[in-house]
Amino acid sequence: MSDVIYDVKDLRLSFPDMSRKPILGPAPRIEILKGLTFQIPKGEVLGIVGGSGSGKSTLGRALIRLIEPDSGQIDFEGTDITHMGEEDLRPLRRRFQMIFQDPLSSLNPRRRVGGIIAGPLRLQGLEGIDARVKEALDMVGLPRAFASRYPHELSGGQRQRVGIARAIALRPDFILADEIVSGLDVSSQAQVLNLLEDLVRELGLTLAFISHDLSVIRRLCSRILVLYQGEIVENAATADLFATPTAPYTQELLSAIPLPDPDQVWV
Amino acid sequence: MRDTRAHSRKPGLRLWLSGGWITILVLAALLAPWISPHDPLAQDLFAGRMPPFWQAGADPNYWLGTDSLGRDVLSRILHGARLALTVALIAGVLTCLIGAILGLIAGYYGGWADLVISRLVDIWMAFPPVLFAILLIAVLGTGMTSIIIAIVVIDWTRFARVIRAEAMSQSKMDYVASAQVVGRSRFGTALTEILPNVLPTIVALLTLEMGIAVIVEAILSFVNLSISTDAPTWGGMIAEGRTSVHQAWWVLVFPLVALFFTVLSFSQLGEGLKDHFDPVLR
């Protein structure tokens, strides 16, 4: 199964519920992910949709092992990374990267853009760092002079491009994009989505794109995973899902998309 | 758009004034043996309680007048600056190092480390600080080392508290998660991601602490618990001046003014440095 990048089986994850913790003894746990099974083929752009609290961000963070699942199995290119320790994960980490929702929070405010992009490269012991930083800036369409700027000196869309540059500079096989356009205005959204489309094509990236916005997902993704309260309610090709949604929750989501051509009665 | 390559902005008035005063003071302290017009310990009972130079009956040899034993006030202030600044520097830096490291550990690592350090800070802060200092000096004996130890032992909690809160809020930021995504170790993240973001706070607190150290030294000198009784200290001069304030106000006022400007300058220096060097505020 070399054409599958992620093979996830019966993934379960829970967090302790500190608000209901008794004075003595452990806190009861809330199940976030309730046994998810799916695969991500190489080169696919997978959309993960769901309402808030559906577990989509938790799933994403489990995939790149920012958090450790309780049980089940995550295979990344045939390697079981479910319970791997941080030391063993380190060499693998350059192969799966993440773009965060809020670049103001994910870019260290006291480091320059150049340093932010170069940091991971240096850490992973790559060579020709300056050239790679310049190349990454070129690829996301930012002027090279931006390397000496601080994040707060950029606009929202430019900041998110820096976040993308940092992720692609390592030349990963897989990128997780967690709600990366939801903090941007509509025109920057479109630009960032265009950029992402181009990059996926040029670099042959596999992408998991988490969003609550189906119209964004529809444009970008070839396959969609619909999460509802920690369970997969639908896993279908984009065209099929929009044509014949099977789960009631998906139908609900679809009907919530604003129409490009509204009924005259509404206006 | 601003030119971001210009690292430094024109230093503000605040930085100039506070930095200027501290520089003058440091020079005065370093050069005290050579620039003092008189021996700070030399008594001249015939020249007691001479007023400063602009008043009638002043001796032009004693610019800021003399105390009741005929010792030169200016020379004593200059020599007193040596002890004040030495204590400020050593006690400030040590307090900062200990407090900031403990605060970073508690705030960033959390868990048991946080529990132990935070409770320790709570208990520590319940002691009345001045009494604690006097008690410590009583146990350790007088001397500069004792003053420094007393300040460090009492004041590390200030740093630990503030830095802990700061490190805690910083470690919730996504750039910390992002460092984990690329495989940076916990310790490496604390050093390269968190520390640069708490450094402005540390610098501001450090200079504030130096000002506090000057005050604590003056208080201990005032109650005669610093170094030997006749050695020139600002606190000691204030204590002497207090007894003769109606006959010779200058013995009290001049060291007080020096103390006031020094403490004020230290706190303003920190804020000024923060404004000047922090890229985010700039």
Which residues in chain B are contacts of A169 at CB distance < 8 A?
none
> Helix or strand or coil: residue B227?
coil
Looking at residue A177, which CATH number applies to its domain? 3.40.50.300
For the segment B20-66, what is each residue's pLDDT rounded down to a tens digit?
Answer: 999 999 999 999 889 888 888 888 888 778 888 888 777 778 888 88
Closest-CA residue to A17 (of A34, A1, A25, A29): A29
Q: How far is A107 from chain B (nearest CA, A)?
A: 5
Q: How far apart are CA B2 and CA B253, in angstroms?
A: 47
Residue A19 lies in a domain: no
**Distance (Å) of CA B83 to CA A163, B25, B32, B123:** 51, 12, 11, 31
> What is the rounded radius of gyration, in angstroms, for the C-alpha atoms of chain B?
23
Q: How far apart are CA A185 and CA A232, in angstroms?
A: 30
Please report the residues numbered 147 through 176 in chain A whose beta carbons come closer than 8 angstroms to any beta carbon of chain B.
Answer: 148-150, 152-153, 166, 170
Which residues in chain B are contacts of A89 at CB distance < 8 A?
183
Residue B42 lies in a domain: no
Range of the domain at A249: 44-72+88-256
> What is the rounded radius of gyration, in angstroms, for the C-alpha atoms of chain A?
19
Residue A148 lies in a domain: yes
Which residues in chain A are contacts of B3 at CB distance < 8 A?
none
Q: Give the residue from chain A lying closest to B183, CA to CA.
A: A90
Residue B143 lies in a domain: yes
Q: In total, how many domains does chain B have? A: 1
What is residue B208's DSSP assignment? H
Exposure string of B224-257, with b = 16+ CB inside 10 Å and e = fewer, is ebbbeeebbbbbbbbbbbeebeeebebbbbbbbe
Q: In total, how many domains does chain A have? A: 1
Q: How far apart are CA B189 and CA B171, in angstroms?
A: 9
Residue A93 lies in a domain: yes
Residue B6 lies in a domain: no
Asked if A102's CB is within 8 angstroms of B184's CB, the reply is no
For the segment A212-257, what is each residue's pLDDT rounded down to a tens digit?
Answer: 888 888 888 999 999 999 899 989 898 888 888 888 888 888 887 7
Residue A13 lies in a domain: no
Asked if A97's CB is within 8 angstroms of B183's CB, the reply is no
Residue A230 lies in a domain: yes
Asked if A105's CB is within 8 angstroms of B173's CB, the reply is yes
Write the DSSP string, B233-280. Answer: -HHHHHHHHHHTTTT-HHHHHHHHHHHHHHHHHHHHHHHHHHHHH-TT
The ipTM of this complex is 0.85
Q: How far apart are CA B11 and CA A142, in angstroms?
A: 32
**What tens-digit pLDDT sequence spans chain A (267 residues)?**
468 899 999 999 998 888 888 888 888 888 899 989 999 999 899 999 988 888 899 999 999 999 999 999 999 988 999 988 888 898 889 899 999 999 989 999 999 999 999 999 998 888 889 999 999 999 999 999 999 999 999 998 999 999 999 999 999 999 999 999 888 888 888 899 999 999 988 888 899 999 988 888 888 899 999 999 989 998 989 888 888 888 888 888 888 777 677 677 766
Residue B190 lies in a domain: yes
Residue B167 lies in a domain: yes
Range of the domain at B257: 13-27+64-277
Residue B2 lies in a domain: no
- Contact partners, residue B131, CB within 8 Å, separation at least 6: none
* Complete edge-to-edge strand list for the sheet that includes strand A206-211: A96-99, A174-178, A206-211, A45-49, A223-228, A231-237
Asked if A106's CB is within 8 angstroms of B175's CB, the reply is yes
Residue A60 lies in a domain: yes
Residue A16 lies in a domain: no
Residue A127 lies in a domain: yes
